[in-house]
Amino acid sequence: MTSRTSGIEEAFNELSDLDRNALLIKLLQNHKKKNPLNFIENTVCNYLKVHLHLINADTRVQNVVLARHLIMYFARKYTSFSLSEIGKKLGGKDHATVIYACNRIEKMILNEPEIQSLVNSITEELNLATFSKN
């Protein structure tokens, strides 16, 4: 650990719990605003226990496909990236794949209560109210 890191750590530890929590919230909100797609990817992957590197892989394993489709759905809904940009960032998929994924998730939300619950839980986890569109 460098002296700079230990100094930051010491300063952080000297903050009150309230100040520490406020700082962490501010850092998290800043990360969401600067990297909304990365934040969505990390949140969905952590929630579904899917390794992040599999999202861009050419795999059709069901839970990986679901995670990838959810990321596309949330990215379309909560970022200003174009469909093509979303697809490119998620393994070089084209815009039609993103449309298909989003439509599939929307149908699943309507027809499958467990998916509706999953989407609601991830939405809460993302706390999307703090997102600002790119």
Predicted confidence (pLDDT) per residue in 70-89, tens digit: 999 999 998 889 999 999 99
Triad 85, 42, 9: Cα angle to 5°: 125
Instruction: Check whether 129 has a pLDDT greater than 50.
Output: no
Task: Enter the tokens of residue 47.
Answer: 């929630």
| Contact call for residues 95 and 84 (beta carbons, < 8 A) | yes
Range 42-46 average pLDDT: 92
Instruction: Check whether 50 has a pLDDT greater than 90.
Output: yes
Q: Which of 56-70, 83-97, 119-133 has the lowest mean pLDDT?
A: 119-133
Entry pTM? 0.73
Task: State the average pLDDT for the chain.
Answer: 84
pLDDT top residue among 92 and 13 = 92
Task: Tell me the domain boundaries of the chain.
Answer: 1-34, 36-130
Dihedral-angle region of residue 79 (phi above 0 means left; psi in -120 to 50 means alpha; beta otherwise): beta
Task: Enter the tokens of residue 92.
Answer: 């070089």
36-130 classified as CATH 1.10.1750.10 = yes
pLDDT of residue 4: 57
